[in-house]
Amino acid sequence: MTTIPLSLPGAAPGAWPLLGHAWQLHSRPLEFLSSLPAHGDLVRIGMGPYPAYVVCHPEAAHRMLTDSRTFDKGGPFFDKARVLFGSSLPMSGWQEHRWQRREMQPAFQPDRLEAYAAVMGEEVDRMTAGWRPGLRLDLTAALTTLTLRIVTRSVLAAEAEDEAVADVQHSLHTVIDGIYQRVMLPLGPLYRLPTPGNRRYRSACKRLHSAIDGIIAERRASPGGKDLVSMLLAAHDDTGEPMSDKDIRDQLVVMSGAGFETTANSLAFAFWLLSQHPEAEKQVHAEVDRTLAGRTATPADLDGLPYTRRVIHEVLRMYPPGWFFTRVTTTDTTLAGHRLPAGTALLYSAYLLHHRPDLFPDPERFEPDRWLTRSGDSLLRGAYVPFGGGNRKCIGDQYALIEMTMALASVCARWSLRPDPGATLRVQVRGTLGPGRLPMNCRERGAAVEE
Ligand code: HEM
């Protein structure tokens, strides 16, 4: 990292009056973020009227992520998301976060993950049961239903009736999109007008809340389970206060929101990338044939799937679903050689860091084997952050890795997915980074289809 005398960071070029860089961030976010390291290790941008500083260097990102008292959750964009997500785990300030994480962590311990993995296997079988050779799928939609059913049945320990899951899926999607829009294009009172878009957003929030309230009421009626909802009902803060129903609802909305689109999008990217890279696909096929011989994966198989895991790591490098997050300084401090007063908004982007060619040579190339030599590499500190870092690191990281590895391996054990001839990938940047609609054709694997 270049050492500069303590100063204020330089600004990114191209700011517009009033909007700052909000338009660039909204209209071509990935190109805009990737252009920033050329302007320094910490670069000032304008989010509407608010200045924010983008962390472009891995050491600075590491320091920011691991000192969560100085670099706390918050900032002007964040406050907009708080309106819907309250003071839930990803939103809470460091003091509240400590006890919340302590109370929720048991839902992600190894014994729980083992139990969730059984649900993951059942749901992959359920998804593929209706597949036939030649069937044309909207793959992203199929995987979104899969991961939402899994998170509903595992973490929330609730029934996953088709109609209710479809409604929650639709509502969550509308809500996540609506929040993204409000954060990226801060148009204030315009979002209160009775436009069709605003009405859709409000009605989706209501439907989502009522679905989650139903789960809480059910669990209140039969307490004592080992699931997250029961844990939240029994949780107490440091002063012995239990959580209110609204707090519990916020936690569950966030957990379902964070726990399905992220993994569905990553899986969809993985299938697309394999369809475009026959050598990598061949290696996955050889590995799953050896380890699974056509059956669905279980957690006991994970050690026998190292190449499949490298594919997942590479997908998360190229297309990290959580592509930008914010922090705010709680005290005067320094970062990357710059002085920052208390209250400074910071932004970090896994996409930006993962696409720096000095950290990941030829960053646009899909190369799972780059992880053969790099796992455990200390240079990755702050450079590879698909799940964030420090004590705010994703609580579902292991859950997600198990789910994605099991689903990718189990599908590849029996199926090869092929895009329409001439189809191209159109990356969509919304609340999460995704591949958008992805029509794919099912081809049953077997000696005859292996080229
Ligand atoms: C590919 C899948 C996933 C990715 C890439 C991902 C990414 C992330 C990232 C980057 C953060 C940190 C945000 C920050 O620094 O501000 C985070 C936090 C979080 N994630 Fe995930 N996530 C994934 C899956 C999941 C799943 C499956 C769940 C739950 C079932 C989940 C629940 C959460 C929660 C509750 C937090 C807040 C943690 C805290 O502040 O203590 N995520 N995730």
What DSSP designation does 445 have?
-
Structural domains in the chain, CATH included, are: 93-322+377-449 (1.10.630.10)
Cα(221)–Cα(139) distance, integer angstroms: 38
Please give the backbone phi and psi of residue 47, each rounded to the nearest 5 degrees, phi first. Answer: -105, 95
Mean pLDDT of 49-61: 93
Which residue type is seen at 102? R
Residue 449 has pLDDT above 50, yes or no: no
Give the number of the atom of ligand 1 that is nearest the alpha carbon of residue 100.
Answer: 41
- Pairing mode, if any, of strands 333-335 and 415-419? unpaired
Residue 304 has pLDDT above 80, yes or no: yes
Residue 271: pLDDT band with limits 50, 70, 90: very high
Taking alpha carbons only, the member of 115, 198, 147 closest to residue 432 is 147
Residue 6 has pLDDT above 90, yes or no: no
Gyration radius (Cα) of the chain, Å: 22
Residue 446: pLDDT band with limits 50, 70, 90: confident
Out of 10-14, 179-183, 213-217, 301-305, the most confident range is 301-305
Cα(441)–Cα(370) distance, integer angstroms: 29
Distance of CA 73 to the CA centre of its chain: 17
Cα(298)–Cα(212) distance, integer angstroms: 30
- Best of 140, 229, 315, 394 for a ligand 1 pocket test (most atoms within 8 Å of beta carbon): 394
Take residue 359 and report the two structure tokens written for it: 């950290």
Position with higher pLDDT, 179 vs 325: 325
Mean pLDDT of 363-369: 97
Cα(1)–Cα(57) distance, integer angstroms: 7
Give, using CA atoms, the residue closest to atom 41 of ligand 1.
392
On average, the pLDDT of the chain sits at: 90
Model pLDDT for residues 137-187, shown as the tens digit of each residue: 999 999 999 999 999 999 988 887 877 788 888 888 888 888 878 777 767
Give, using CA atoms, the residue closest to atom 12 of ligand 1.
388
From the CA of 65, how far away is ligand 1's center (Å)?
A: 14
From the CA of 294, how far away is ligand 1's center (Å)?
A: 31
Residue 378: pLDDT band with limits 50, 70, 90: low
- Which segments within 286-438 are labelled E, that is strand? 325-329, 333-335, 338-340, 345-348, 415-419, 428-429, 433-434
Residue 379 has pLDDT above 50, yes or no: yes
Give the per-residue pLDDT at 257.
85
Residue 313 contacts residue 371 (beta carbons within 8 Å): yes
Cα(124)–Cα(120) distance, integer angstroms: 6
Give, using CA atoms, the residue closest to atom 7 of ligand 1.
387
Residue 301 has pLDDT above 90, yes or no: yes
Residue 245 has pLDDT above 90, yes or no: no
